[in-house]
Structure 1
C-alpha cells in the first residue's frame, strides 16, 4: 500500500500552484506559449484543475479526521462492552452450571456466526436478551451483585457499540471515496503540470530566469534533467468488517 507523505503533498501542490498561477499572471509568458495552443482558456482550465485538486485534498483530510474520531469512539465503547460481557458471562456460567438446558442456550447464543465484529456484537446482545427474559437467571445473577439494571446497562453498551460501529463504517466509506476522488484530482493536475512544463521548456528556452520563477529548475549544459517525481497514488483503506474479536 502506497501513501502520500504530508511533505510530498505539500511540495506537489506548492510546485503546481507556483507554475500554473505564475503563468496565468504573466502576460509575456502567455504570449510565448500561445503558439503551442496554450491560450487563456487552456490556462484557466489548468487553474480550475489545480483548485479542484487542492479542495479534494482538503476534503480528504477532513474525512480522514472524522473517520479517526469515529474509530476512537467505537473502540472505546467496544472495549467497555467486551470487558463487561466477559465478567457477566463468567458469572452466567456459575448460575447455569447445574442446568444443562440453560447451559446449552448460553453456549449456542454465545457463539457468533463469524468473528466479524458485527456478528460478535449481535451474539453479545442476544445473550443479554436471553438472560433478561429469564427471571430465574436474573435472580441467580443478583446473588453475585449483578442486578437486572446492571444487565440492561450492559446490553445497552453492546447496542451503543453496534451504533458506533455503523458510524465508523460510514465514515470509513466516506474517507475511501474522498481518497479516490483526491487521487483522480491529483492525476489530472500532474498531467497538466507535465504538459505545461514541457511547453515552457521550449517556449522560454532563452529566458531561464522566467523558468526559475515558475519553479522549473534550469540545469547547466551537459547535465541531464532528472525525471519529475510526483506523489504515488494512495490506496484507500481496504479493511473490512472481518476484524476478529477474541473468544470469551
Structure 2
C-alpha cells in the first residue's frame, strides 16, 4: 500500500471512504473479509475511525481558513498603522528637531524600532504624549496633524492589538486542530493498513476485487 505521506490527505480520505463503502456493498468482498475477521462490527469500527478523521480534517481546514482570514485582517491594519505612524513621525521630527526634550518624550530619538512590542510601545508613547500636551499638537498642526488625528491613531493601535490577539488565538487553535487531525489520520492509517493486508490474503484468488477497495492490482 502507498504510504499516506506520499498522497494528499484528500486522496487518502477518498480511498478510505471507497474501501469502507465497497467492503459492505459488494457481497463477494464482504463475504471474503468476514471469513478473516472483518465482519459488520469490525467494519463499523473502521468507519467510526474514518468519521472521526473526516471531522478532524474538516475542523482543521476551518481553523486554517479562520487563521488566514485573521492574518489578512491583521496585515491590513498593520499596514495602515505603520503608514500613518511613519508619516506622523517624520512630521514631528521636523517640527521638534531643535527640541531634544520633546524628541525624547515622544520617543523620536533614533530610528523607529522594528520589533513588534517595542514598535507598538513607541507609537503609544508618541501619540499619548501628543494627546497629553495640546501645545505640541498646535505646533504640529502646521503640517496637517490634529488632536483628532492623535485620537484616531490611538484607536487604530487598539484595533491592531486586538487583531493580533485574534490572529494568535486562531493560529493556536489551528495548531491544535492540526495535531488532532494528524492523530486521527494515524489511527485510521494503522487500521486501514491491517485491513488492506488482510484483504490481499482474503482475495488472493480474486485480486481484481481489490480494485474495488481502491488498491491497484498489477497484471
* Residue equivalent to 1:20: 20
2:93/2:108 contact within 8 Å kept = no
1:208/1:218 contact within 8 Å kept = yes
Deviation at 1:79, TM superposition (A): 0.4
1:132/1:138 contact within 8 Å kept = yes
Deviation at 1:100, TM superposition (A): 2.0
* Residue equivalent to 1:62: 62
2:106/2:126 contact within 8 Å kept = yes
* Residue equivalent to 1:33: 33
* Residue equivalent to 1:98: 98
2:107/2:125 contact within 8 Å kept = no
Q: TM-score, normalised by structure 2?
A: 0.88
Q: State how far apart, in whole Å, the 1-side matches of 2:167 and 2:187 are.
A: 30
Secondary structure of 1:143's partner? helix
2:91/2:140 contact within 8 Å kept = yes
- Pairing 1:14-163 to 2, within 5 Å after superposition: 14-107=14-107, 115-163=114-162
* Residue equivalent to 1:166: 165
Deviation at 1:97, TM superposition (A): 2.0
Q: State how far apart, in whole Å, the 2-side matches of 1:213 and 1:18 are.
A: 8
* Residue equivalent to 1:182: 181
Secondary structure of 1:218's partner? coil
> Within the alignment, does 1:215 sit opposite 2:214 as a pair?
yes
Deviation at 1:94, TM superposition (A): 2.3
Q: State how far apart, in whole Å, the 2-side matches of 1:11 and 1:116 are.
A: 42
The alignment of Structure 1 onto Structure 2 pairs a total of residues equal to: 215
Q: State how far apart, in whole Å, the 2-side matches of 1:94 and 1:44 are.
A: 74
Deviation at 1:27, TM superposition (A): 4.5
1:110/1:123 contact within 8 Å kept = no
Moved more, 156-165 or 29-38: 29-38
> Within the alignment, does 1:196 sit opposite 2:195 as a pair?
yes
Q: State how far apart, in whole Å, the 1-side matches of 2:122 and 2:38 are.
A: 64
Secondary structure of 1:102's partner? helix
Distance 1:109-1:73 versus aligned 2 partners, 3 A rule: farther
Q: State how far apart, in whole Å, the 2-side matches of 1:77 and 1:24 are.
A: 53
Deviation at 1:9, TM superposition (A): 2.0
Q: State how far apart, in whole Å, the 2-side matches of 1:110 and 1:156 are.
A: 25
Give unmatched runs, 5+ long, in structure 2: none
> Within the alignment, does 1:206 sit opposite 2:172 as a pair?
no
Deviation at 1:86, TM superposition (A): 0.7
Q: State how far apart, in whole Å, the 2-side matches of 1:35 and 1:213 are.
A: 18
Moved more, 156-165 or 121-130: 121-130
Q: State how far apart, in whole Å, the 2-side matches of 1:213 and 1:27 are.
A: 12
